[in-house]
Structure 1
Amino acid sequence: MKVFDTINETENHLKSFQNKSIGFVPTMGALHEGHIALIKKSVAKNDLTVCSIFVNPTQFNNPEDLKKYPRTLDEDCKMLEEAGCDVVFAPTAEEMYPNLPQIKLNFGYLEEIMEGKFRPGHFNGVGIVVAKLFNIVKPNKTYFGQKDIQQVAVINRLVKDLSFDLEMIVCDTIRENDGLAMSSRNRRLSKGARDLAPKIYESLKLGEKLLLAGESTESVKSKVSEFYLNYPEFELEYYEITDFESLESISEHNPKRRTAIIIAAHLGGVRLIDNHVF
Structure 2
Amino acid sequence: MEVINTIAALKSLLGPKKLAQQKIALVPTMGALHKGHVSLIRIAQRHADVVVCSIFVNPTQFTDPKDLEKYPRPLEHDMAMLKESGCNVVFMPSVKEMYPEPETWHIDLGPAEFLLEGEFRKGHYQGVTQIVKKLFDAVEPDTAFFGQKDFQQVLMIENMVAHFKLPVKIITCPIVREEDGLAMSSRNIHLNAEDRKHAVVLSEALYHVKEFFDNNCKTQEGIKKEKLPALEDVAKRMISRTPGVELDYFVIVSGHTLMPPTDSYGLGLVALVAAKVGETRLIDNMILS
After TM superposition, the score normalised by the length of structure 1 is 0.94
- The Cα shift of 1:47 comes to 1.1
Paired position in structure 2 for 1:137:
139
Deviations 1:129-182 (A, max 9, x none): 000000000001111111100011111111122111111111111111111111
Does structure 1 conserve the Cα–Cα contact (< 8 Å) formed by 2:27 and 2:145?
A: yes
- Mapped pair 1:224 → 2:226: no
Paired position in structure 2 for 1:245:
256
Which whole-Å CA distance do the structure 1 matches of 2:102 and 2:112 have between them? 24
- The Cα shift of 1:94 comes to 1.6
- The Cα shift of 1:75 comes to 1.3
- Aligned alpha-carbon RMSD (Å): 1.7
Does structure 2 conserve the Cα–Cα contact (< 8 Å) formed by 1:105 and 1:128?
A: no
Which whole-Å CA distance do the structure 1 matches of 2:258 and 2:231 have between them? 17
Paired position in structure 2 for 1:58:
60
Does structure 2 conserve the Cα–Cα contact (< 8 Å) formed by 1:234 and 1:265?
A: yes
Paired position in structure 2 for 1:270:
280
Q: Secondary structure at the match of 2:17?
A: coil
Which whole-Å CA distance do the structure 2 matches of 1:112 and 1:217 have between them? 22
- The Cα shift of 1:254 comes to 6.1
Q: Secondary structure at the match of 2:136?
A: helix
Q: Secondary structure at the match of 2:81?
A: helix
Which whole-Å CA distance do the structure 1 matches of 2:64 and 2:92 have between them? 22
Q: Secondary structure at the match of 1:139?
A: coil
Give the stretch that moved more between structures: 210-219 or 144-153: 210-219
Identity score, percent: 40
- The Cα shift of 1:255 comes to 5.7
Q: Secondary structure at the match of 1:206?
A: helix
Q: Secondary structure at the match of 1:197?
A: helix
- The Cα shift of 1:100 comes to 2.7
- Mapped pair 1:9 → 2:9: yes
Which whole-Å CA distance do the structure 2 matches of 1:121 and 1:257 have between them? 29
Paired position in structure 1 for 2:220:
none
Q: Secondary structure at the match of 1:103?
A: coil
Does structure 2 conserve the Cα–Cα contact (< 8 Å) formed by 1:52 and 1:88?
A: yes
Which whole-Å CA distance do the structure 1 matches of 2:198 and 2:7 have between them? 42
Which whole-Å CA distance do the structure 2 matches of 1:166 and 1:129 have between them? 15
Q: Secondary structure at the match of 1:98?
A: coil
Which whole-Å CA distance do the structure 2 matches of 1:148 and 1:185 have between them? 13
1:260 corresponds to which of 251, 259, 270: 270
Does structure 1 conserve the Cα–Cα contact (< 8 Å) formed by 2:198 and 2:243?
A: no
Paired position in structure 1 for 2:221:
none
Give ranges in structure 2 of 5+ residues lacking alignment: 218-225
Paired position in structure 2 for 1:93:
95
Does structure 2 conserve the Cα–Cα contact (< 8 Å) formed by 1:7 and 1:95?
A: yes
Does structure 2 conserve the Cα–Cα contact (< 8 Å) formed by 1:217 and 1:250?
A: no
Paired position in structure 2 for 1:76:
78
Does structure 1 conserve the Cα–Cα contact (< 8 Å) formed by 2:240 and 2:247?
A: no
- Summarize the Cα distance change of 1:217–1:256 in structure 2 as closer, same or farther, 3 Å threshold: closer
Which whole-Å CA distance do the structure 2 matches of 1:209 and 1:48 have between them? 39
Which whole-Å CA distance do the structure 1 matches of 2:143 and 2:258 have between them? 24
- The Cα shift of 1:54 comes to 0.4
- The Cα shift of 1:108 comes to 1.9
Does structure 2 conserve the Cα–Cα contact (< 8 Å) formed by 1:106 and 1:124?
A: no
- The Cα shift of 1:197 comes to 1.2
Which whole-Å CA distance do the structure 2 matches of 1:169 and 1:23 have between them? 10
Paired position in structure 1 for 2:223:
none
Report the AA paired with residue 49 of structure 2: D
Q: Secondary structure at the match of 2:51?
A: strand
Report the AA paired with residue 240 of structure 1: V
Paired position in structure 2 for 1:202:
204
- The Cα shift of 1:105 comes to 2.1
Report the AA paired with residue 7 of structure 1: I
Does structure 2 conserve the Cα–Cα contact (< 8 Å) formed by 1:207 and 1:224?
A: yes
Give ranges in structure 1 of 5+ residues lacking alignment: none
Paired position in structure 2 for 1:124:
126
Deviations 1:225-250 (A, max 9, x none): 32234213101011111012332223
Deviations 1:187-227 (A, max 9, x none): 11111111221110011122234444246232223222322
Report the AA paired with residue 42 of structure 1: A
Number of positions where the alignment pairs a residue of Structure 1 with one of Structure 2:
277
- Summarize the Cα distance change of 1:101–1:61 in structure 2 as closer, same or farther, 3 Å threshold: same
- Summarize the Cα distance change of 1:271–1:254 in structure 2 as closer, same or farther, 3 Å threshold: farther
Paired position in structure 1 for 2:33:
31
